[in-house]
Amino acid sequence: MFFNDIHIRIRFVLLVVIIILILVIGKVFYIQVFSYNKLAKITEDLWSRKMTINAPRGDIVDRNGEILATSIVTTTIYVVPNQIKDKEKVSKDIAEILNCDYEDVYKYVSKKSSMEIIRKGMDLNSETADKIEKLGYDGVYLVVDSKRYYPYGEALSHIIGFVGSDNQGLSGLELTYDEYLKGTNGELKYYSDGKGNKLEIPDSYVAPSKGMTLELTLDIEIIKAVDNELKNAMDKYDSEHALSIVMNPKTGEILAMGSKPSFDPANYQNFSEEVINRNLPIWMTYEPGSTFKIITLASSIEEKTVDLFKDHFTDTGAINVDGSTIHCWKHGGHGNQTYLEVVENSCNPGFVSLGQKLGVNKLMSYIKKFGFGDKTGIDLNGEGNGILFKEEKMGPVELATTAFGQGISVTPIQQVAAVGAAINGGYLNTPYVVKSIIDDNSKSIVFANKQQVKRQVISPETSATVRFALESVVSNGSGKNAYIENYRVGGKTGTAQKVSDGKYMVGNYILSFIGFLPANDPEAIVYVAVDNPKGVTQYGGTVSAPIARNIMLSLIETLKIKEASGGMLKEYSYLDVRYYQLPDVVGMSKSEATKALKEFKVKYSGSGDKVVYMSPAPNTFQSVETTITLLLN
Amino acid sequence: MIYSASFVWAQYKFNNPFHFVTMQGIFLLIGLILLYILSHIDYHLYYKYANIILFICAILLILVLIPGLGSVRNGSRSWFGIGPLGIQPSEFAKIGLIIYVAKYLTNNKKNMQSIIHGVFPILGVIGIFFLLIMLEPDFGTAMVITLTLVCLIFISGVQISFFLKVGLAGILGIVGIIIAAPYRVKRIVSFINPWSDPLGAGYQILQSLYAIGPGGLLGQGFFKSRQKYFYLPEPQTDFIFSIISEELGFLGVLIVTSLFLIIFYRGITISLKASDLFGKYLSFGLAFGLIIQASLNLMVVVGLIPVTGVTLPFLSYGGSSLLVSMASIGILLNISKNS
């Protein structure tokens, strides 16, 4: 009986114990099943040390694959202080190789943390990294990193932009296309014990994958020529700004774009925000001046309000519009001219009359159709809008000044796009610089840009007439300084007075030239503007046309533009060096050849009497100063 | 298991990964011999010498408190250091007290119905020992002993209502003790929310959870624990169960728990079959002493109760603990033989 009571209580205790143990097992089950994911993640982080391996940024290349921005491999030293036994010796040796103070290394090596980056040990070249590696110290890790490198520096800084210290895009295309360029970071993970010592568990390595390649429409050879010319324009004329755009008018692809002052992308910190942020060719807005006359011209031809060849205009040097007198740039005027001559001479009263024939509504509708007043939509940041007169507030004076490019404000890129439409058969293209985005890992094209036609503004016939008129401007008119022998060049000069606080500034002009070649089938359009050049006649023809000509010379070489016959001959003034077409003298006798080449200097090579070869090639235009070499047999 | 759990710490502390395992091997050998001897010693001998055994235990417990004789390990002066070997008198006092209480209950079978004449005197004795151990201090062992003895008194037939009162008093007492030592408050707080101080008081329990969590069904594999690599301090002692759980998974947990239950069940069977009252009380006390210690340890490790500092019998590293556990089994076997 008494035992019975004890036995009952013993069994009761057994029950309690079983319950306790079930609770324990239940709790273990709960931890392992329900908290598994959370704990597994925490412990993974606890047990492992991660070193991020930065992905190299994708390259930026030009239309021919030439590298414009790339990532060069550098190495960064990571230290795991716990794994370093002789901290003094390690610090001393590393400091010696890095050529820095012992303290700069020791402070990281002696830190109580799981992992440290030695500041002075970042962006090491491979030579230095090799030396560190040879030391073979435990706890010293070398992790591959990358650093952005811009081989063409200032020439492209406004378009490409730059990256910050962590290789993140901060401006330009580097910023806009950061998502594509940055790639995916890799990671080196090793397992360590509670004291930071490395465990014999294999490291896990996730390789970084390089960012995508950005292919641009630019051509580095043209960029170099443009940059060179702009630098000269700044030095020679002590200008405020100089800028240029080269575009393929058929597609809207930008071949080159540049401006001064520019900045060095590797040391962007040393430049003012204004210089960095203002990409002048798309940001700057100013009165276009006479280059805008192309728009008035094209509109008039399209609307058939004028016949360039038959209609005449008499310029007395000034024209009265609603009580105001508008002067022509030429004192005394151009006298009686055909409208083609009005264009060649860039005669302001002549263009006022063209504007009056069109009327406010038509002129403004064409100006808008040509894209003025709106952003062109180019794939670069920081584009300006420009300012137009409000149509309902436009009186006769506003109409008159707008017709020759005053009183409105436009951006360079707007002008290039609009003139491109005027000469390419009438199609307004959206300009662009990014051609494609290529994923190097999968070898696939992620994005391919193509021509985007906004609208047709004028007919192909009108466009042909505009080309003819502009070619004659270069051959016979104000654009002579852009003439290139044996090539067909069209263009128009511009001289615009700058406005400050609502008033025209005295003696402060933006001199511009917009030209294209070949004039019969344009492959490139070149715009050049120089802001406030000093010590030179203030005409676009004298300052910007020669710059544009030099750029076009390099275009001929780069784009392999063929020599063309059938172009207009230049109308010579007394001062000009004359050019003649070189007759073909191959097969002639020495005396016959000499006679035929009487305009040129001739040099003979060989002792025979028959010409077997001549240089330069026959039928090209050569200046009288050119020496013609004849090979005799 | 001890080897797997301990070699990292052994390497670190003694530059010999086999340190703990060698030591434990020696103790295991001694323990087996002790087990064999005790299984052949008639348990009625303890009845005879219970008072002397208890007296020796009391002396040892007092001596260990004297600086110079007792050495401090992990904050408690609870060891007699003899070279690399350490002896914990509190572990031996556990058996001594079980024997004494078993004898007392046998002798005072009738008095036990009276709280004042039966229960209070023995509670007084237990209280004295409790205080002695708390002076070291070794809260865990004191808890194990007290719970074991109270349970022993419980099965002897004392009125249930008394235990409700004692339980209340016990809770108050424990609260008092906890408040008296600030580190215990920390342990409680860290138990309720280990994340509040993950690097301080909550560290052990969190690290234990980190070990148990990723174990899964089959564990990381023997020797594959990561938590033992200095994350979990001294993993071969109190928290060996976390490493078991980490390396052998849920299956390992089931097996270990079942083994303890089997041992206890065997002990209880012996108790139920024991022919005399002393044998019944003694076998129950010894079996319960083992299982309550194991349960407390497991509950701590899995985070069911606050950290108390109780080792896991047989599995944790510790010479005295192993010897005492083996001795308990030896005595149990003898009682089984004589029933």
Query: Is the CB of A28 less than 8 angstroms away from the CB of B253?
Result: yes
Tally A–B CB contacts below 8 A.
113
What's the topology of domain A579-632?
Trypsin Inhibitor V; Chain A (3.30.10)
CA–CA gap between residue A51 and residue A43 (Å, rounded): 17
A38 → chain B, closest CA residue = B213
Question: Which residues in B have their CB inside 8 Å of a CB on A?
Answer: 8, 109, 151, 154-157, 209-210, 212-217, 226-227, 229-232, 245, 249-250, 253-254, 257, 260-261, 264-265, 268, 271-272, 280, 284, 288, 291-292, 295, 298-299, 302-304
Q: Could you report the per-residue pLDDT of A58-92, keeping only the tens digit for each?
A: 999 999 999 999 988 888 888 887 777 788 888 88
Closest chain B C-alpha to A61 CA, distance in angstroms: 49
pLDDT digits (tens, 9 = 90+) for A323-334: 888 888 788 888
Which residue do the tokens 């860290």 mark? B190
| C-alpha triplet A411, A416, A417: angle, nearest 5° | 100
Fold for domain A220-266+285-558? Beta-lactamase (3.40.710)
Q: Does residue A349 have a cis bond before it (omega within 30 degrees)?
A: no
Nearest to B254 among A17, A25, A40 (CB): A25
B211: its two tokens = 């070990």
Strands (E), A394-541: 427-429, 434-439, 444-448, 453-456, 490-500, 503-517, 524-531
Task: Report the percentage of chain A scoring pLDDT > 70.
Answer: 93
Containing B102, the helix (H) or strand (E) segment is: helix B89-107
d(CA A23, CA A30): 10
**Reported confidence tier of residue A606, pLDDT bands at 50, 70, 90:** confident
Is A114 assigned a catalytic role? Answer: no
A191 to chain B: which residues are within 8 Å by CB? Answer: 226
The predicted model gives A414-431 an average pLDDT of: 95
Catalytic residue among A171, A192, A290, A472: A290
> What is the complex's ipTM, to 2 decimals?
0.83
Alpha carbon distance A68, A181 (integer Å): 13
Closest CA relative to residue B320, chosen from B28, B13, B3, B4: B28
Cβ distance A43 to B155 less than 8 Å, yes or no, reads no
d(CA A412, CA A246): 11
Domain residues for the domain of B321 are 2-337
Name the pLDDT band for A197 (thresholds 50, 70, 90). low
Closest alpha carbon within chain A to B105: A6
Q: What is the CATH number of domain A50-216?
A: 3.90.1310.10
**What is the spatial distance between Cα B12 and Cα B215, in angstroms, rounded to a whole number?**
25
| Mean pLDDT computed over every residue of chain A | 85
Residues with Cβ within 8 Å of residue A139, at least 6 apart in sequence: A79, A80, A81, A82, A83, A84, A85, A90
Kindly state the tokens that stand for A308: 């360039």
Contacts for A573 with CB less than 8 Å, ≥ 6 apart = none
pTM of this prediction?
0.62
- Taking 60 as the threshold, does the pLDDT of residue B302 lie above it? yes
pLDDT at A354: 93
The number of domains in chain B is 1
Say if strands A611-615 and A318-321 run parallel, antiparallel, or are unpaired: unpaired
Angstroms from B195 CA to nearest CA on chain A: 12
Residue of B110, B155, B293 to mutate, testing the A interface (most A Cβ within 10 Å of its Cβ): B155
- Give the pLDDT score at A28: 83
Is the predicted pLDDT of residue B310 greater than 90, yes or no?
Answer: no
Nearest CB to B257; choose among A13, A21, A201:
A21
Q: What is the pLDDT confidence band of residue B219, given thresholds at 50, 70 and 90?
A: low
Neighbouring residues of A73: CB distance < 8 A, sequence distance ≥ 6: A56, A126, A144, A145, A146
**What phi-psi label fits residue A507: left (phi over 0), alpha (psi between -120 and 50 degrees) or beta?**
left
